[in-house]
Copies of this chain bind each other. A is one copy, B any other.
Amino acid sequence: MKTVLLAGGTGGAKLARGLLDIAGDALTVIANTADDIEIYRAHVSPDPDLVTFWLADRIDGRGWGLDGDTFTVMDALREAGEEIWFNLGDRDLALCLRRAQRLADGATLTEVLAEHAAAFGVSARVLPMCDGPVRTHVMAGGEWWRLQEFLVRRRAQGPVDGVALEGAEAARPTAAVLEAIAEADAIVIGPSNPIISIGPILALGGIHDALRTAAAPVVAVSPFVGGRVLKGPTASFLRWAGRDATPAGVAEHYAGVADGFVSDEQIAGAAMAQLVTDVTLGDAAARARVASEVLDFARSLR
């Protein structure tokens, strides 16, 4: 079953790992690149890399970065007088330096992510949502922050007073993204932050048309588990967008895009088909079960 997953970082990446068990190399993940950052002369792509590390079973127990990575370069930069606010392991940095170099040499981000997935032995495809730069900025505390600075330096402290997707107007989904969507049997919107992780993907020119005209049903998975989001500042962003910080708010947000919604709460008066099930992605069995149920649900909507 040709499965396309739109994903941000942690939640989307965990569901990607579950879908890999079910769909195998028929899985294509379209990852948000609007929180990419150029730092330490490297090009860091947090969401695509989280997805790749999860798919390769190489994610570290801390929830980001490569398993067992060391931080020697960061230590040395600190000793040389740098203020280190964005932590990157040595092996992680190597990938990000290589990406920056390949991009400088004229490769596309699509090509580089494919090379990295191959180097990690990942058979599924990990596509960036676009090859051009889109960068999320967040207004909070009276200041605009680059997304990673908001998340790390400000510790994601809301309320969020603004979100700007720099470059989104000019950016277009890649041919590979459009083709994957057109050929899919199921399209899944992962349990990632709807505003800053899925939002940039949906903001690309032409993506709404592509999803609307796709033969496959679009199924969104709620990032809420037992009424709360396990990681990240999803609630502040939903509130900024005028949505309730609940599965119902997320469902409302995806009305017009999704044909079905998966969450652990029955939503009264939802505008789309619903699957109510436990959406915890805590271990491999849970990830595979949720993935399987999501795909069955999508199949039922065709």
Contacts and interface: CB of A to CB of B under 8 A. Distances in A.
Interface of A: 40-42, 70, 72-77, 79-82, 90-91, 93-95, 97-98, 100-101, 104, 115-116, 119
Nearest to A100: B41
* Chain copies in the assembled complex: 2
Contacts of A90: 70, 72-73, 76, 90
Contacts of A40: 97, 101
Given A41-B41, A90-B90, A98 B80 contact: yes
A106 B41 CA distance: 14
Contacts of A70: 70, 72, 90
Given A72-B90, A91-B73, A81 B41 contact: no
Contact of A94 (B73, B95, B100, B115): B73
Nearest to A118: B81
A94 B80 contact: yes
Q: How would you classify the secondary structure of chain A's contact residues: helix, strand, loop or mixed?
A: helix
A159 to B, nearest CB: 34
A79 B91 CA distance: 10
A80 B79 CA distance: 28
Nearest to A43: B41
A224 B80 CA distance: 36
A97 B94 CA distance: 12
Contacts of A72: 70, 72, 90-91, 94
Q: Which 3 A-B pairs have the closest CB atoms?
A: A76-B94, A76-B91, A72-B90
A116 B41 contact: no
Contacts of A116: 80
Given A76-B94, A76-B95, A41 B101 contact: yes
